[in-house]
Structures are given as structure tokens and as C-alpha cells.
Amino acid sequence: MTKWAGWIFTVLGALHLVLGFALLAPRHAGAWAGGDLWLPEGTLAEMSPASGAFWMTFGSFGAPLLALGLTVLWLERRGIVPPAFLAWIVGAWSVAAGLVFEPAPWIAATIGAVLLGAGTRKGYKATVVNSDSQGGPHV
């Protein structure tokens, strides 16, 4: 379950970055390189297309979600149980975002969070059982 969660987060993050850059960067790279986003006029509610493209690429959740997915996979390969708070945070974030903004793949992030939570719970139970058989906690 933990491995599936890691792959879901990794693929979502990578796809968001690749598609965002492929679809938006060619049109806005000149504005980004020219410093148009430094102290822009207006507010976030009146964002320019170049600003919107920035928030869909560099400023998006793609890179952190990719890092989270790779970290979960790294931990899983080493037999380390990820902390449960990661599942709770990603789950709460994806449900809230899904209620506000659709269509988007929020359900995939929510599924990843549920799998991570279940894998974490299973991993904690295995750790407790293993530590009891060893004569005490070894967490």
C-alpha cells in the first residue's frame, strides 16, 4: 500500500510538472526570463497569464508532490514506516482542494493518501508486534 501511494504521488507530481511546462512554458518563458513576475501590478486575484502559468509550473504542488512520492518510495524500500501525519496532511489538502476545484485529479491524491495511511497503520502494527517479540520497543 505504501509503495502504491509513493508511486501515485510521484506520477502525479511528475505529470503536473511535465504537462505544465510543456503546455505553458513555451508561451510565457519570455515573460518569466524578462522579470515580468517581479513585483507585478495588481493582486493575486488579477493575475496575469504569465503569473497563472508560473503557479501551474514552478509554483505548483508538482515538485513537492514528486519529492514526497520519491521519499515515500525511498522509505518503503528501506523498510521504514512513513509518519502518519503525511497521509493526514495530503488527505485533508486533496479533499479540500477537490471540493473547491474540479475537474482535477484530486481523487488520485486522496487515494494515495488513503493508501499511505493504511500502509502506515499496517507498518506500525508490524513494528509493535516485532518489538514485542524482541523484548521491548525498538522504534
pLDDT tens track for 18-28: 999 999 999 99
Mean pLDDT to the nearest integer, 122-137: 63
pLDDT tens track for 48-93: 899 889 989 999 999 999 999 999 999 999 999 999 999 999 999 9
Stated as kind and residue range, the H or E segment containing 46 is none
> What region does 39 belong to: left with phi over 0, alpha with psi -120 to 50, or beta?
left
Residue 119 lies in a domain: yes
DSSP secondary structure letter of residue 31: H
Residue 139 lies in a domain: no
Give the residue numbers spanning the domain of 38.
2-133
Q: Are 9 and 66 in contact (CB under 8 A)?
A: yes
Q: Are 67 and 12 in contact (CB under 8 A)?
A: no
Residue 138 lies in a domain: no
Q: What is the pTM of this model?
A: 0.81
Residue 117 lies in a domain: yes
Total domain count, the chain: 1
Taking each helix axis from N to C end, the angle separating 62-77 and 106-133, rounded to the nearest 10 degrees, works out to 30
